[in-house]
A and B are shown apart, each in its own frame.
Chain A
Amino acid sequence: MTIAPTFDYCLRLADDALVLGHRLSEWCGHAPTLEEDIALANLALDYVGQARALYAYATEVENDGRTEDDLAYLREEREYRNLLLCELPKGDFATTIVRQFLFAAFMLPFWEKLTRSKDATLAAIAAKAEKEVAYHLRHAAEWLVRLGDGTEESRARAQDALDELWPYTGEMFEMDEAERALVDAGIAADRRSVRPVWGATLDAVLAEATLARPRDGWMQTGGRRGVHSEHLGHVLAELQYLQRAYPNATW
Protein backbone atom coordinates (compact mmCIF):
# COMPACT_ATOMS: atom_id res chain seq x y z
CA MET A 1 0.00 0.00 0.00
CA THR A 2 2.69 2.47 1.00
CA ILE A 3 5.35 0.89 -1.20
CA ALA A 4 5.61 3.69 -3.76
CA PRO A 5 5.61 6.57 -1.23
CA THR A 6 8.17 4.85 1.01
CA PHE A 7 10.41 4.12 -1.97
CA ASP A 8 10.19 7.74 -3.07
CA TYR A 9 10.83 8.95 0.47
CA CYS A 10 13.99 6.87 0.69
CA LEU A 11 15.13 8.28 -2.65
CA ARG A 12 14.70 11.87 -1.48
CA LEU A 13 16.82 11.30 1.60
CA ALA A 14 19.35 9.16 -0.24
CA ASP A 15 19.72 11.60 -3.14
CA ASP A 16 20.32 14.49 -0.72
CA ALA A 17 23.08 12.48 0.92
CA LEU A 18 24.68 11.16 -2.27
CA VAL A 19 24.76 14.48 -4.12
CA LEU A 20 26.05 16.41 -1.11
CA GLY A 21 28.57 13.65 -0.43
CA HIS A 22 29.79 13.96 -4.01
CA ARG A 23 30.13 17.73 -3.70
CA LEU A 24 32.17 17.29 -0.52
CA SER A 25 34.40 14.73 -2.19
CA GLU A 26 35.39 17.41 -4.71
CA TRP A 27 37.43 19.00 -1.93
CA CYS A 28 39.67 15.97 -1.68
CA GLY A 29 43.17 17.28 -2.37
CA HIS A 30 41.95 20.90 -2.54
CA ALA A 31 40.94 21.88 1.00
CA PRO A 32 42.73 24.82 2.65
CA THR A 33 44.61 22.63 5.13
CA LEU A 34 45.48 18.96 5.35
CA GLU A 35 43.30 18.46 8.43
CA GLU A 36 40.34 20.02 6.67
CA ASP A 37 40.97 17.94 3.57
CA ILE A 38 40.65 14.84 5.74
CA ALA A 39 37.62 16.23 7.56
CA LEU A 40 35.69 16.97 4.36
CA ALA A 41 36.55 13.56 2.92
CA ASN A 42 35.29 11.98 6.14
CA LEU A 43 32.04 13.92 5.90
CA ALA A 44 31.67 12.80 2.30
CA LEU A 45 32.14 9.22 3.42
CA ASP A 46 29.40 9.56 6.03
CA TYR A 47 26.98 10.93 3.46
CA VAL A 48 27.75 8.27 0.88
CA GLY A 49 27.31 5.67 3.63
CA GLN A 50 23.91 7.09 4.55
CA ALA A 51 22.95 7.15 0.88
CA ARG A 52 23.93 3.49 0.48
CA ALA A 53 21.84 2.39 3.45
CA LEU A 54 18.84 4.30 2.11
CA TYR A 55 19.24 3.09 -1.50
CA ALA A 56 19.61 -0.48 -0.26
CA TYR A 57 16.39 -0.14 1.68
CA ALA A 58 14.65 1.52 -1.29
CA THR A 59 15.49 -1.48 -3.50
CA GLU A 60 14.20 -3.79 -0.80
CA VAL A 61 10.91 -1.86 -0.68
CA GLU A 62 10.69 -1.75 -4.47
CA ASN A 63 11.56 -5.45 -4.77
CA ASP A 64 12.04 -5.16 -8.50
CA GLY A 65 15.55 -6.48 -8.95
CA ARG A 66 17.17 -3.05 -9.02
CA THR A 67 20.27 -2.62 -6.87
CA GLU A 68 21.59 0.36 -4.93
CA ASP A 69 24.13 0.89 -7.73
CA ASP A 70 21.32 1.02 -10.31
CA LEU A 71 19.66 3.78 -8.33
CA ALA A 72 22.84 5.81 -7.99
CA TYR A 73 24.35 5.27 -11.41
CA LEU A 74 21.51 4.63 -13.83
CA ARG A 75 18.96 7.29 -13.08
CA GLU A 76 18.70 10.46 -15.15
CA GLU A 77 18.82 13.94 -13.78
CA ARG A 78 15.03 14.33 -13.81
CA GLU A 79 14.69 11.17 -11.71
CA TYR A 80 16.86 12.56 -8.94
CA ARG A 81 14.89 13.90 -5.97
CA ASN A 82 17.52 15.82 -4.00
CA LEU A 83 17.26 19.33 -2.62
CA LEU A 84 18.69 22.02 -4.87
CA LEU A 85 20.83 23.13 -1.93
CA CYS A 86 22.79 19.86 -2.10
CA GLU A 87 23.66 20.10 -5.80
CA LEU A 88 25.00 23.67 -5.94
CA PRO A 89 28.73 23.90 -6.74
CA LYS A 90 31.05 23.64 -3.76
CA GLY A 91 32.07 27.28 -4.23
CA ASP A 92 34.74 28.68 -1.96
CA PHE A 93 35.44 27.22 1.47
CA ALA A 94 32.95 29.61 3.11
CA THR A 95 30.18 28.45 0.76
CA THR A 96 30.89 24.83 1.58
CA ILE A 97 30.92 25.50 5.33
CA VAL A 98 27.71 27.57 5.25
CA ARG A 99 25.93 24.87 3.24
CA GLN A 100 27.12 22.16 5.62
CA PHE A 101 25.94 24.23 8.54
CA LEU A 102 22.48 24.99 7.11
CA PHE A 103 21.96 21.36 6.13
CA ALA A 104 23.34 19.73 9.30
CA ALA A 105 21.38 22.11 11.54
CA PHE A 106 18.26 20.81 9.79
CA MET A 107 19.24 17.15 9.56
CA LEU A 108 20.15 16.70 13.22
CA PRO A 109 16.62 17.35 14.57
CA PHE A 110 15.16 15.70 11.45
CA TRP A 111 17.00 12.40 12.00
CA GLU A 112 16.21 12.62 15.68
CA LYS A 113 12.50 12.69 14.82
CA LEU A 114 12.87 9.92 12.27
CA THR A 115 14.36 7.59 14.90
CA ARG A 116 10.76 7.30 16.14
CA SER A 117 9.45 6.20 12.72
CA LYS A 118 7.13 3.21 12.69
CA ASP A 119 9.27 1.90 9.84
CA ALA A 120 11.95 -0.02 11.74
CA THR A 121 14.58 0.24 8.98
CA LEU A 122 14.17 3.98 8.54
CA ALA A 123 14.35 4.38 12.32
CA ALA A 124 17.57 2.34 12.42
CA ILE A 125 19.19 4.33 9.60
CA ALA A 126 18.12 7.56 11.31
CA ALA A 127 19.65 6.46 14.62
CA LYS A 128 23.01 5.96 12.94
CA ALA A 129 22.85 9.09 10.81
CA GLU A 130 21.86 11.24 13.78
CA LYS A 131 25.11 10.45 15.58
CA GLU A 132 27.15 11.28 12.49
CA VAL A 133 25.38 14.52 11.72
CA ALA A 134 25.74 15.76 15.32
CA TYR A 135 29.45 15.71 14.66
CA HIS A 136 29.01 17.38 11.27
CA LEU A 137 27.03 20.21 12.82
CA ARG A 138 29.69 20.92 15.40
CA HIS A 139 32.40 20.89 12.75
CA ALA A 140 30.52 23.33 10.50
CA ALA A 141 29.41 25.59 13.37
CA GLU A 142 32.95 25.93 14.73
CA TRP A 143 34.21 26.87 11.27
CA LEU A 144 31.39 29.31 10.73
CA VAL A 145 32.30 31.16 13.93
CA ARG A 146 35.95 31.21 12.90
CA LEU A 147 35.07 32.60 9.46
CA GLY A 148 32.37 35.04 10.56
CA ASP A 149 34.24 36.34 13.55
CA GLY A 150 37.53 36.20 11.66
CA THR A 151 39.19 38.54 9.18
CA GLU A 152 37.40 41.10 7.08
CA GLU A 153 37.65 38.84 4.07
CA SER A 154 36.54 35.61 5.77
CA ARG A 155 33.60 37.46 7.28
CA ALA A 156 32.56 38.96 3.93
CA ARG A 157 32.79 35.58 2.23
CA ALA A 158 30.77 33.86 4.95
CA GLN A 159 28.04 36.51 4.80
CA ASP A 160 27.96 36.38 0.98
CA ALA A 161 27.63 32.60 1.10
CA LEU A 162 24.83 32.83 3.63
CA ASP A 163 22.93 35.38 1.53
CA GLU A 164 23.52 33.34 -1.62
CA LEU A 165 22.34 30.02 -0.15
CA TRP A 166 19.45 31.38 1.88
CA PRO A 167 16.81 31.10 -0.91
CA TYR A 168 17.61 27.37 -1.05
CA THR A 169 16.72 26.71 2.59
CA GLY A 170 12.94 26.82 2.14
CA GLU A 171 12.94 23.56 0.22
CA MET A 172 14.13 21.63 3.28
CA PHE A 173 10.76 22.25 4.92
CA GLU A 174 8.61 21.45 1.89
CA MET A 175 6.30 18.47 2.04
CA ASP A 176 4.03 17.31 -0.75
CA GLU A 177 0.86 15.30 -0.25
CA ALA A 178 2.64 11.96 -0.41
CA GLU A 179 5.12 12.95 2.27
CA ARG A 180 2.39 14.39 4.49
CA ALA A 181 0.53 11.09 4.21
CA LEU A 182 3.68 9.28 5.36
CA VAL A 183 3.95 11.69 8.29
CA ASP A 184 0.35 10.93 9.22
CA ALA A 185 1.11 7.22 9.00
CA GLY A 186 3.98 7.67 11.47
CA ILE A 187 6.62 6.71 8.89
CA ALA A 188 8.10 10.06 7.83
CA ALA A 189 9.28 12.92 10.05
CA ASP A 190 7.35 16.19 9.92
CA ARG A 191 9.73 18.65 8.28
CA ARG A 192 7.84 21.72 9.44
CA SER A 193 8.15 20.69 13.06
CA VAL A 194 11.95 20.87 12.69
CA ARG A 195 11.88 24.57 11.89
CA PRO A 196 11.95 25.99 15.46
CA VAL A 197 15.00 23.90 16.41
CA TRP A 198 16.71 24.79 13.14
CA GLY A 199 15.99 28.47 13.70
CA ALA A 200 17.29 28.40 17.25
CA THR A 201 20.53 26.70 16.18
CA LEU A 202 21.00 29.28 13.44
CA ASP A 203 20.37 32.23 15.73
CA ALA A 204 22.79 30.95 18.36
CA VAL A 205 25.62 30.21 15.94
CA LEU A 206 25.14 33.25 13.71
CA ALA A 207 25.22 35.50 16.80
CA GLU A 208 28.51 33.94 17.86
CA ALA A 209 29.80 34.29 14.30
CA THR A 210 28.62 37.93 14.15
CA LEU A 211 26.77 37.16 10.91
CA ALA A 212 23.36 38.49 9.95
CA ARG A 213 20.52 36.07 9.34
CA PRO A 214 19.10 36.88 5.89
CA ARG A 215 15.47 37.88 5.60
CA ASP A 216 13.07 35.24 4.33
CA GLY A 217 11.87 35.98 0.84
CA TRP A 218 11.19 34.05 -2.33
CA MET A 219 12.47 30.49 -2.04
CA GLN A 220 13.85 28.19 -4.73
CA THR A 221 12.03 24.92 -5.29
CA GLY A 222 11.86 21.97 -7.70
CA GLY A 223 14.38 19.35 -6.61
CA ARG A 224 11.82 16.99 -5.11
CA ARG A 225 9.97 16.96 -8.45
CA GLY A 226 13.13 16.40 -10.45
CA VAL A 227 13.35 19.99 -11.67
CA HIS A 228 16.97 20.80 -11.00
CA SER A 229 19.47 23.57 -11.54
CA GLU A 230 21.96 23.19 -14.37
CA HIS A 231 24.50 21.95 -11.85
CA LEU A 232 23.10 18.48 -11.15
CA GLY A 233 23.78 17.25 -14.67
CA HIS A 234 27.45 18.05 -14.22
CA VAL A 235 27.54 16.19 -10.91
CA LEU A 236 25.96 13.12 -12.51
CA ALA A 237 28.23 13.29 -15.54
CA GLU A 238 31.16 12.72 -13.23
CA LEU A 239 29.42 10.44 -10.74
CA GLN A 240 27.97 8.14 -13.40
CA TYR A 241 30.78 8.30 -15.93
CA LEU A 242 32.18 4.86 -15.29
CA GLN A 243 28.86 2.99 -15.47
CA ARG A 244 27.92 4.91 -18.60
CA ALA A 245 31.23 4.26 -20.34
CA TYR A 246 31.59 0.65 -19.15
CA PRO A 247 28.10 -0.69 -18.44
CA ASN A 248 27.96 -3.24 -15.62
CA ALA A 249 31.62 -2.76 -14.73
CA THR A 250 32.44 -4.01 -11.23
CA TRP A 251 35.59 -4.25 -9.17
Chain B
Amino acid sequence: MVAAAQDRPDVAERRARAWAAAASVVDPEIPVLTIADLGVLREVRIDDHGRAEAVITPTYNGCPAMNAISLDIELALERAGFRQPKITTVLAPAWTTDWMTQEGKAKLLAYGIAPPQARASRRALFGEVAVTCPRCGCEETERLAEFGSTACKALYRCTACREPFDHFKCI
Protein backbone atom coordinates (compact mmCIF):
# COMPACT_ATOMS: atom_id res chain seq x y z
CA MET B 1 0.00 0.00 0.00
CA VAL B 2 2.77 2.37 0.91
CA ALA B 3 4.63 1.53 -2.27
CA ALA B 4 1.47 2.17 -4.25
CA ALA B 5 1.10 5.62 -2.71
CA GLN B 6 4.74 6.41 -3.55
CA ASP B 7 4.11 5.44 -7.17
CA ARG B 8 1.21 7.83 -7.74
CA PRO B 9 2.20 10.54 -10.23
CA ASP B 10 1.47 13.43 -7.85
CA VAL B 11 3.48 11.79 -5.08
CA ALA B 12 6.32 11.04 -7.47
CA GLU B 13 6.32 14.67 -8.53
CA ARG B 14 6.38 15.87 -4.92
CA ARG B 15 9.16 13.47 -4.15
CA ALA B 16 11.22 14.69 -7.10
CA ARG B 17 10.69 18.28 -5.95
CA ALA B 18 11.64 17.42 -2.36
CA TRP B 19 14.72 15.55 -3.57
CA ALA B 20 15.80 18.53 -5.68
CA ALA B 21 15.39 20.86 -2.68
CA ALA B 22 17.27 18.58 -0.26
CA ALA B 23 19.94 17.78 -2.84
CA SER B 24 20.70 21.49 -3.27
CA VAL B 25 22.10 21.69 0.27
CA VAL B 26 25.88 22.02 0.30
CA ASP B 27 28.45 20.72 2.74
CA PRO B 28 29.24 23.67 5.04
CA GLU B 29 32.95 22.73 5.07
CA ILE B 30 33.28 22.08 1.33
CA PRO B 31 30.68 24.36 -0.23
CA VAL B 32 31.32 23.16 -3.80
CA LEU B 33 29.86 19.77 -2.91
CA THR B 34 26.18 19.14 -2.41
CA ILE B 35 25.07 16.45 0.00
CA ALA B 36 23.90 14.47 -3.05
CA ASP B 37 27.43 14.67 -4.56
CA LEU B 38 28.82 13.45 -1.24
CA GLY B 39 26.41 10.56 -1.00
CA VAL B 40 25.23 11.84 2.38
CA LEU B 41 21.64 12.20 1.13
CA ARG B 42 20.35 8.64 0.84
CA GLU B 43 16.66 9.00 0.13
CA VAL B 44 13.70 11.37 0.18
CA ARG B 45 10.28 9.98 1.04
CA ILE B 46 6.78 11.45 1.03
CA ASP B 47 4.34 10.18 3.64
CA ASP B 48 0.57 9.79 3.31
CA HIS B 49 0.04 13.38 4.46
CA GLY B 50 2.41 14.71 1.83
CA ARG B 51 5.15 15.47 4.35
CA ALA B 52 8.73 15.07 3.23
CA GLU B 53 11.34 12.98 5.01
CA ALA B 54 15.01 13.19 4.07
CA VAL B 55 17.27 10.29 5.02
CA ILE B 56 20.91 11.16 5.57
CA THR B 57 24.01 9.34 6.76
CA PRO B 58 27.09 10.80 8.47
CA THR B 59 30.51 10.57 6.84
CA TYR B 60 32.15 10.26 10.26
CA ASN B 61 30.43 9.50 13.58
CA GLY B 62 31.56 12.78 15.04
CA CYS B 63 31.22 14.95 11.95
CA PRO B 64 30.12 18.34 13.34
CA ALA B 65 28.69 19.34 9.96
CA MET B 66 25.77 16.94 10.35
CA ASN B 67 23.80 19.30 12.60
CA ALA B 68 24.26 22.17 10.16
CA ILE B 69 23.32 19.91 7.25
CA SER B 70 20.12 18.76 8.98
CA LEU B 71 19.06 22.34 9.63
CA ASP B 72 19.86 23.35 6.07
CA ILE B 73 17.77 20.49 4.67
CA GLU B 74 14.84 21.47 6.87
CA LEU B 75 15.09 25.02 5.63
CA ALA B 76 15.44 23.98 1.98
CA LEU B 77 12.39 21.72 2.21
CA GLU B 78 10.31 24.37 3.93
CA ARG B 79 11.26 26.90 1.27
CA ALA B 80 10.15 24.39 -1.36
CA GLY B 81 6.75 24.27 0.32
CA PHE B 82 7.10 21.19 2.50
CA ARG B 83 5.88 21.81 6.00
CA GLN B 84 7.44 20.20 9.06
CA PRO B 85 9.90 18.08 7.14
CA LYS B 86 11.49 15.17 8.92
CA ILE B 87 15.21 14.39 8.89
CA THR B 88 16.24 10.84 9.68
CA THR B 89 19.83 9.75 10.21
CA VAL B 90 20.86 6.20 9.34
CA LEU B 91 24.23 4.54 9.95
CA ALA B 92 23.91 1.44 7.76
CA PRO B 93 25.19 0.79 5.23
CA ALA B 94 28.17 2.76 6.47
CA TRP B 95 29.24 5.67 4.31
CA THR B 96 32.49 5.24 2.45
CA THR B 97 34.12 7.47 -0.13
CA ASP B 98 32.63 5.13 -2.76
CA TRP B 99 29.31 6.89 -2.12
CA MET B 100 30.70 10.10 -3.57
CA THR B 101 29.55 10.67 -7.15
CA GLN B 102 31.96 11.07 -10.07
CA GLU B 103 30.61 14.59 -10.48
CA GLY B 104 31.41 15.24 -6.84
CA LYS B 105 34.98 14.03 -7.31
CA ALA B 106 35.39 16.29 -10.36
CA LYS B 107 34.09 19.26 -8.36
CA LEU B 108 36.53 18.53 -5.54
CA LEU B 109 39.45 18.40 -7.95
CA ALA B 110 38.44 21.71 -9.54
CA TYR B 111 38.21 23.19 -6.04
CA GLY B 112 41.81 22.18 -5.28
CA ILE B 113 41.13 19.15 -3.09
CA ALA B 114 42.54 15.80 -4.24
CA PRO B 115 39.51 13.49 -4.42
CA PRO B 116 39.49 10.00 -2.92
CA GLN B 117 40.65 7.21 -5.22
CA ALA B 118 38.16 5.34 -7.35
CA ARG B 119 37.64 2.60 -4.79
CA ALA B 120 37.90 3.12 -1.08
CA SER B 121 40.95 1.12 -0.12
CA ARG B 122 41.87 0.62 3.45
CA ARG B 123 45.59 0.51 3.71
CA ALA B 124 47.26 -1.91 6.01
CA LEU B 125 49.75 -0.54 8.52
CA PHE B 126 52.32 1.73 6.91
CA GLY B 127 50.88 1.29 3.43
CA GLU B 128 51.21 4.17 1.00
CA VAL B 129 49.01 5.37 -1.84
CA ALA B 130 49.88 7.82 -4.57
CA VAL B 131 47.90 11.04 -4.37
CA THR B 132 47.93 13.27 -7.43
CA CYS B 133 48.44 17.01 -6.99
CA PRO B 134 45.14 18.73 -7.84
CA ARG B 135 46.97 21.80 -9.16
CA CYS B 136 49.71 20.51 -11.45
CA GLY B 137 48.76 16.84 -11.82
CA CYS B 138 52.12 15.60 -10.59
CA GLU B 139 52.05 12.24 -8.83
CA GLU B 140 55.10 12.97 -6.69
CA THR B 141 53.46 14.18 -3.52
CA GLU B 142 54.18 13.74 0.15
CA ARG B 143 51.89 13.50 3.12
CA LEU B 144 52.42 16.25 5.68
CA ALA B 145 49.79 15.16 8.18
CA GLU B 146 47.29 12.32 8.56
CA PHE B 147 44.64 14.81 9.57
CA GLY B 148 43.79 18.04 7.80
CA SER B 149 41.32 20.87 8.23
CA THR B 150 38.42 18.48 8.81
CA ALA B 151 38.04 14.85 9.90
CA CYS B 152 37.64 13.74 6.29
CA LYS B 153 40.83 15.30 4.93
CA ALA B 154 44.60 14.81 5.16
CA LEU B 155 47.29 17.37 4.34
CA TYR B 156 49.66 16.74 1.42
CA ARG B 157 52.31 18.68 -0.50
CA CYS B 158 53.31 18.42 -4.14
CA THR B 159 57.05 17.94 -4.59
CA ALA B 160 56.91 19.46 -8.10
CA CYS B 161 54.94 22.70 -7.65
CA ARG B 162 55.49 22.77 -3.85
CA GLU B 163 51.85 23.59 -3.18
CA PRO B 164 50.31 22.12 -0.03
CA PHE B 165 46.82 20.72 -0.62
CA ASP B 166 44.03 18.81 1.08
CA HIS B 167 43.31 15.21 0.17
CA PHE B 168 39.86 13.78 0.81
CA LYS B 169 40.75 10.59 2.66
CA CYS B 170 39.54 7.19 1.57
CA ILE B 171 37.51 5.39 4.17
Q: How far is the CA of A42 from the CA of B125 in the complex (A)?
A: 19
Q: How far is the CA of A45 from the CA of B90 in the complex (A)?
A: 19
Out of B64, B144, B171, which one reaches A45, CB within 8 Å?
A: B64
Residues in B neighbouring A129, C-beta threshold 8 A: 61
**Chain B: interface residue total (CB-CB under 8 A):** 28
Out of A42, A127, A138, A139, which one reaches B93, CB within 8 Å?
A: A127
Residues in B neighbouring A36, C-beta threshold 8 A: 145
User: What is the count of residue pairs linking A and B with beta-carbon distances less than 8 angstroms?
Assistant: 85
- Name which residue of chain B comes closest to A120, CB basis: B92
**A47 in the interface (beta carbon within 8 A):** yes
- The verdict on A125 contacting B91 (CB below 8 Å), with A132-B171, A135-B171 known, is yes
**A153 in the interface (beta carbon within 8 A):** no
Which of B60, B93, B171 lies at the interface centre, i.e. has the most chain A CB atoms within 10 A of its CB?
A: B60
Residues in A neighbouring B44, C-beta threshold 8 A: none
Q: How far is the CA of A20 from the CA of B171 in the complex (A)?
A: 22
Are the CB atoms of B60 and A132 closer together than 8 Å?
A: yes
Which of B62, B95, B96 lies at the interface centre, i.e. has the most chain A CB atoms within 10 A of its CB?
A: B62
- Name which residue of chain B comes closest to A205, CB basis: B125
Are the CB atoms of A46 and B126 closer together than 8 Å?
A: no
Are the CB atoms of A124 and B171 closer together than 8 Å?
A: no
Out of A38, A123, A201, which one reaches B145, CB within 8 Å?
A: A38
Are the CB atoms of A135 and B92 closer together than 8 Å?
A: no
Q: How far is the CA of A47 from the CA of B60 in the complex (A)?
A: 10
**A155 in the interface (beta carbon within 8 A):** no
- Name which residue of chain A comes closest to B93, CB basis: A127
**A235 in the interface (beta carbon within 8 A):** no
- The verdict on A127 contacting B92 (CB below 8 Å), with A38-B145, A137-B125 known, is yes
Are the CB atoms of B122 and A42 closer together than 8 Å?
A: no
**A85 in the interface (beta carbon within 8 A):** no
Residues in B neighbouring A39, C-beta threshold 8 A: 145-147
Which of B95, B145, B146 lies at the interface centre, i.e. has the most chain A CB atoms within 10 A of its CB?
A: B146
Selected interface stretch from A49-57, A213-221, A223-231: A49-57
- The verdict on A141 contacting B62 (CB below 8 Å), with A38-B149, A135-B146 known, is no
Are the CB atoms of A204 and B125 closer together than 8 Å?
A: yes
**A131 in the interface (beta carbon within 8 A):** yes
Which of A43, A47, A120, A128 lies at the interface centre, i.e. has the most chain B CB atoms within 10 A of its CB?
A: A128
Enumerate 14 A-B pairs (CB-CB under 8 Å) in ascending A order: A38-B145, A39-B145, A39-B147, A45-B60, A46-B62, A49-B63, A53-B61, A131-B122, A135-B146, A138-B125, A141-B125, A141-B126, A201-B125, A205-B125
Interface residues of B (CB under 8 A from A): 58, 60-64, 90-96, 122-123, 125-126, 144-151, 155, 169, 171
In the complex, the 7 A-B pairs of residues with the closest C-beta atoms, listed nearest first: A49-B62, A49-B61, A35-B145, A124-B92, A124-B91, A39-B147, A127-B94
Given A128-B60, A139-B147, 19 extra CB contacts under 8 A: A35-B147, A38-B148, A42-B151, A43-B147, A45-B64, A46-B62, A50-B62, A52-B62, A124-B91, A124-B94, A127-B92, A127-B93, A128-B91, A129-B61, A135-B169, A135-B171, A138-B125, A138-B146, A139-B146
